[in-house]
Amino acid sequence: MIPDKVRAVLTAHGLTVLEFEPGSTPTAELAAARIARVRPGVLPAHIAKSLLFRKKGGGYCMVVCPGDRRIPSSALKRVIGAKARMAGPEEIERETGFKPGGVCPFGVDSVEIYLDRALAQYATIYPAAGTDATGVPMTLDTLARITGGHIVDFDQDGDADAPRSLERR
């Protein structure tokens, strides 16, 4: 069941949720396979996975990136200005209200949200809707507008180049 806070955000923006069998979309690979059955051509990269990080010194941030991608710790540190580690399952649920496998950036007001610009290469991306059985078709621009997330160029290879830009939408 989609959490009320997520449903309210999506309804307010006229977005439709793709709902599936419980437990069918907990990873980018499984989500892509399940969504591709109704939207042919969907790949793991089209899944907008939401990752929660705990910043050294306190506080959390969320990164939304293509499902086939990892965020280098050096790039994350440059963007947020601090070292960070992946949050554990209990932290994720406490800070977002979502269980791992269904984490999404909708209705999450307690953390700063960063959106990987790499998502823009896809006409449609699919973040979860607060459960491990959902996907919400939209564009990166729509995701940025709804969440207020910062669009960031993350450096995939972890080299010394800083992200090219950070913009608030």
Q: For residues 105-140, b (16+ Cβ closer than 10 Å) or e, as one string?
A: bbbbeebbbbbbbbbeebebbbbbbbbbbbbbbbeb
Total number of domains constituting the chain? 1
Those residues with Cβ within 8 angstroms of residue 103's Cβ, 6 or more apart along the chain or in another chain = 50, 51, 52, 62, 92, 96, 128, 130
* Residue in this structure with the two tokens 């709902």, named with its chain if needed: 19
Mean pLDDT of the region 33-61: 96
**Three-class SS state of 76:** helix
**CATH code at 91?**
3.90.960.10
> What CA dihedral angle connects 102, 106, 107 and 108, to 10 degrees?
70
- pLDDT number for residue 28: 96
- pLDDT number for residue 162: 39
- pLDDT number for residue 160: 33
Those residues with Cβ within 8 angstroms of residue 122's Cβ, 6 or more apart along the chain or in another chain = 45, 46, 66, 140
Under a CB-based contact definition with an 8 Å cutoff, are residues 154 and 116 in contact?
Answer: yes
**DSSP string covering 31-63, please?**
HHHHHHTTSTT--GGGEEEEEEEEETTS-EEEE
Mean pLDDT of the region 98-125: 95
Q: How far apart are CA 161 and CA 96, in angstroms?
A: 31
pLDDT of 169 above 60: no
pLDDT of 74 above 70: yes
Q: Tell me the pLDDT tens digit for each residue of 134-149.
A: 999 999 999 999 999 9
List the domain range (segments joined by +) for residue 38.
Answer: 4-168
- Average pLDDT over the chain reads 91
- pLDDT number for residue 109: 87
Q: How confident is the model at residue 110 (pLDDT cuts 50, 70, 90)?
A: confident
Counting residues of the chain whose pLDDT is more than 90, the rounded percentage is 88
Q: How confident is the model at residue 163 (pLDDT cuts 50, 70, 90)?
A: very low
Helix, strand, coil distribution of the chain in percent, nearest 5: 30, 20, 50
pTM of the model: 0.90
